[in-house]
Structure 1
């Protein structure tokens, strides 16, 4: 079957736009072919520095004939209605058919040659292409990411003739700008097109360019006894910068290695698109880099490497300037600067936010085994590096540079003095709007053992907390495990969430400008992966109280309900990714529990229980009992209290009464011990008696005493299962 080959050749396409452009081209072409009724076997797109390519295999040579029946007015309808229908269809009255008093028109459409449809499709794609940024030119205002130079369009080996803004279609393309033959390449098919491009030093497929970069970069490093430091994001970018990528190993001045390695790597990546190199003997950075050139130099790349080395030296000299100057300033002047930096108009300055985080970190610390005063100190300095010169130049290094400066600068972070083990001294006690008191001595807080730090280790612990308090920043980011870091990280994220929910700046749809979903998921992962036993709602109230006090805001805390539901939704997403059912999260959250560790344990036990026959059948029995009770409740108040052994009651009724009496203390004991698997096992003992009861006993008996007793019995079944989870929230 025929093949369609389309190439849109232009000036350089930004690397960051290429992958999206390939997807958009595939989508737009597929939609237009489908709308035309054209089937095909395969549709593939490619994107590179100067071209977008589409190849469609097995495309029909013409669209199929179509027959469409349109329903018209009734035969008795006014004449105006008939005339309107005839104008719409282009038919005459005698061409209509009548059926059951209604007129119908049958529209026959003959198929069109595919070659006649392609020009319309291509022009529509070009004129409607959704580039993030584009240039406009031409008499009709054509927009493209960069000036469009050529259009190659072949169908079944022949040129499809058309022109867009004076650019005619043809059967020629161009090879490499510098290494190519310097003449147009005339092609006959996609296979010929791809072969000629590769012979003219153009790799069409980005996957092949990536492989060439990796293999070449590792080879030049291996030849010098070095190792390439992989960087998937950088690989994605540089594979869009070169049509014939050629890795070259360069050298830098070894004196720059006294800079923090993150600074060196970011300077290489951000400004120069270089890969960093590791010395396997030391495990640290080597005084080398890998640059990906777009040519194979006759001197093996020596001149290119030397030129890039000079450029890198200039960049690293700038970084050294920031490093040296920042160490002359220090934390206190930076904290002063934060007083003039607005975090949010309604949430105050960064300095105010820092004080809130410090107060909250002090409250969280006992829950995770950290020292309260050390947590407050780390939190107070955690945001200071935002005012540093280095972070101003490289925002990606926020926190990281703070950790380095905390170790390098004379400051109150370490040395003698200050608590070396957990202490309640100096802890702030705050009272929530509901009257609950919080603080290091509050009975509402279950203390974890405090870690013990030597004076020498105090500075390092605080520096690590400053460095890592932004983590985790994404689903694949590592989660801190050091208690001090966990305390500061939780405080940072909870202050953000409570603050923005308090001023009603919640995520809506796909919009989340303040990354609140990421912050909530970060809190959840910090709690779960560290096994932190935290009552989330109470901690939110602490954060809310600190916010209200510091900003003199209204004490309205209705936002906390929305925020707790927001956490439930984020937990559902996390557990769903792990294969858990979202309705089970709802069933457990409905109990009012806000201990995330306990919630997940319940969900896991419930998930395992419901996969058994006992669990599935007990769920069915619960729903049947619940439906009966709901129906009876509409007639009046349900009888309360436990069921009794009525004289002459059926054996199945008596057996269920006995089963509930036996199961209830077991369920209570296992729930108190948080042994949810055992609690499910205790519930499983009800499965057979419940099944037998519904099989043999009529609930709505004619004798009032019997009916009331049986309704009490169903109420007990519902209430006992409801202590483990709200089974009414479970689907199935």
Structure 2
């Protein structure tokens, strides 16, 4: 069984595309081989800046001969039907056979497909893969029709076994396959003939090409750490940058240079961002956290050990940092003057065509933050001040140059302006959390501004009917909703959302429905159901968030009833307690008892046309089991009241679970629908007590 080696050698492939391209090559080729009837033992793909490589081990040398039996029309069918069947099967009339089944006699075509040799199949599959390769962007060059991410220069395609290697006959737009590759562009540019993957990888290494991207990453990371450590410094780890730089070099050479003293006054974040975005440099810090050195990765060794490369990089870096220093100094002057000029600029910056300017948005957020502040333990005046300044840095020169520094620079500028630490921190922290793994702010002022920002966003886009649809969420509203959820839950806030949401909708010119009358839409610009928004959107996001806690979706549905469904902390407390008790035998049986009681009660109320909701009378009980259940309900009531009053939902659920035994005993011994009308009514009223007691925690009938 031969091994297959493919290399597609081109001009430099963008680093961000390499990993996916290697996976795509493996998928396209192996899927094509299998579809054509070949099998293989394993396949690995690699990418460097100038090549995609695929090694397929244990490939069968020929596809099997197959016979397909295809059912045709009935014997005696019109000639046109038969002729169409013959054309589709690729046979002649004299090759038709007949067969019979319970539907009668019909024609059968037996189509034999002869097996093919592996080289022919490989050539066909590889050409299809190359011509249909899913590059995000591709180009044509010269006079050919072939498209590739960059001009394709060579195709290496060989099948090898113990007897040697054979080139697969293949020509794509004048590029003929061979057994030749090339080494490093500068250090070993000549052609290299190979006979298999092991030979290929070894010769490339000798030609200063490390084929494996993970190995290049390991070399760069380890050498960078070693150089920083040797200088008594520390490398600032950056996994994303490391992966990107490994895609820029075939032979990584790590060099460390100095940053000019005049630039050390820049905030470390500015230095790091400028070096990373413009130069792909790693940052090195001292014991005080200052960025004092940079690490660059060259693609070649030089006679002067990289001195010339470092000198050139240093000059380019100095020019970039000079710009950053200029921005920083200009911005500091504006910040120390109170940032009024920046806030004025935001009046002419559109947030959204239908939602006004950034300045108008800031006014809404400031008012909302002031309203939210008492509920989260923040000073209202500080929360309002923080909200007014939180987005001022959007007008700064530094953030215009480096948008990813928004918020962080706002904090720096607020500190320079002499604002309170809580106000300055909110400028950075109010954007958080940006994702499921991002930290949640805990400072009350930051929490107030963050909630106000996200609630204004949600209400605003709902008001203009720009809700997420399917997988599309251009305004990151799902992220905003998840941010609200995490801010509330992770800070343990008893924070009903209805009031702030109503304020936010009103600020956008839309009066939400009266919470006491969901059908009241009079005076509204549009009939927006805020209750539906809370339950439909926020609660869906809540289900996603709680999935990591292994809380069942039907448990969330069960607690989304009754009052306080906009108090997320309360809702989640009930969900966690219910989820835990359902994992016990008592909990599961309690649910069954509740559902039985609910069903009997519902049927009786429908039949009698009355509501049984007054509670039963113990003196009318006829059996010991009936009296025991009355006693259990009477004893559990005050304890459940106390637990619910203190929001101790585990204790409340424990009390409910204790009712399991008397409820079970009651249903085993007592017939609810007694012939005695008084006894029947009393028992139905007792069932209503069971149902109402359970539903104070959740609607248990919603559980699967």
Q: Same fold (TM over 0.5)?
A: yes
Query: Residue 53 of structure 2 corresponds to which residue in structure 1?
Result: 53
Q: Counterparts in 2 of 1:484-633, with a 5 A limit?
A: 484-548=445-509, 554=525, 556-592=527-563, 593-629=565-601
CA shift for structure 1 position 47: 1.7
CA shift for structure 1 position 337: 1.0
CA shift for structure 1 position 405: 1.5
Q: Counterparts in 2 of 1:22-37, with a 5 A limit?
A: 22-37=22-37
Q: Counterparts in 2 of 1:6-17, with a 5 A limit?
A: 6-17=6-17
1:362 aligned to 2:370? yes
Give SS of 2:256's match. Answer: strand
Distance 1:364 1:623, change over 3 A: same
Contact preservation (8 Å) 1:7, 1:54 = yes
- Hey, what's the Cα distance between the residues in 2 that align with 1:5 and 1:241? 23
Give SS of 2:177's match. Answer: strand
Contact preservation (8 Å) 1:251, 1:289 = yes
Contact preservation (8 Å) 1:536, 1:595 = yes
Distance 1:402 1:716, change over 3 A: same
Return the TM-score normalized by structure 1: 0.87
Query: Aligned-residue CA RMSD in angstroms?
Result: 2.6
Please say which of residues 358-367 and 646-655 is displaced more in the overlay: 646-655
Contact preservation (8 Å) 1:138, 1:165 = no
1:248 aligned to 2:209? no
For structure 1, which runs of at least 5 residues remain unmatched after alignment? 415-457
Query: Residue 664 of structure 1 corresponds to which residue in structure 2?
Result: 637
Query: Residue 89 of structure 1 corresponds to which residue in structure 2?
Result: 89
1:190 aligned to 2:197? yes
Q: How many residues align?
A: 681
- Hey, what's the Cα distance between the residues in 2 that align with 1:578 and 1:139? 59
Query: Residue 515 of structure 2 corresponds to which residue in structure 1?
Result: none
Contact preservation (8 Å) 1:152, 1:170 = yes
Contact preservation (8 Å) 1:327, 1:408 = yes
Q: Which deviations, in whole Å up to 9, do the C-alpha atoms of 1:305-340 show, x marking residues without a partner?
A: 121111111000000111122233341111111111
Q: Counterparts in 2 of 1:270-349, with a 5 A limit?
A: 270-280=277-287, 282-286=288-292, 288-330=293-335, 331-349=339-357
Contact preservation (8 Å) 1:638, 1:711 = no
Contact preservation (8 Å) 2:44, 2:54 = yes
Q: Which deviations, in whole Å up to 9, do the C-alpha atoms of 1:232-252 show, x marking residues without a partner?
A: 111111010001111100011
- Hey, what's the Cα distance between the residues in 2 that align with 1:8 and 1:140? 17
Contact preservation (8 Å) 1:21, 1:131 = yes
Return the TM-score normalized by structure 2: 0.91
Give SS of 1:98's match. Answer: strand
Aligned with residue 216 of structure 1, among 223, 230, 235: 223
Contact preservation (8 Å) 2:369, 2:387 = yes
Q: Which deviations, in whole Å up to 9, do the C-alpha atoms of 1:433-480 show, x marking residues without a partner?
A: xxxxxxxxxxxxxxxxxxxxxxxxx52221111122211112222221
Distance 1:143 1:705, change over 3 A: farther
- Hey, what's the Cα distance between the residues in 2 that align with 1:471 and 1:77? 72
Distance 1:75 1:614, change over 3 A: farther
1:63 aligned to 2:98? no
Contact preservation (8 Å) 2:331, 2:397 = yes
Query: Residue 416 of structure 2 corresponds to which residue in structure 1?
Result: 408
Contact preservation (8 Å) 1:131, 1:145 = yes
1:474 aligned to 2:438? no
Give SS of 1:548's match. Answer: coil
- Hey, what's the Cα distance between the residues in 2 that align with 1:241 and 1:355? 46
Aligned with residue 372 of structure 1, among 372, 380, 384: 380
Distance 1:703 1:374, change over 3 A: same
For structure 2, which runs of at least 5 residues remain unmatched after alignment? 512-522
Distance 1:104 1:211, change over 3 A: farther
Q: Counterparts in 2 of 1:414-493, with a 5 A limit?
A: 414=418, 459-493=420-454
Query: Residue 514 of structure 2 corresponds to which residue in structure 1?
Result: none
Q: Which deviations, in whole Å up to 9, do the C-alpha atoms of 1:500-535 show, x marking residues without a partner?
A: 111111112221111111111112221122112210
Distance 1:130 1:521, change over 3 A: same
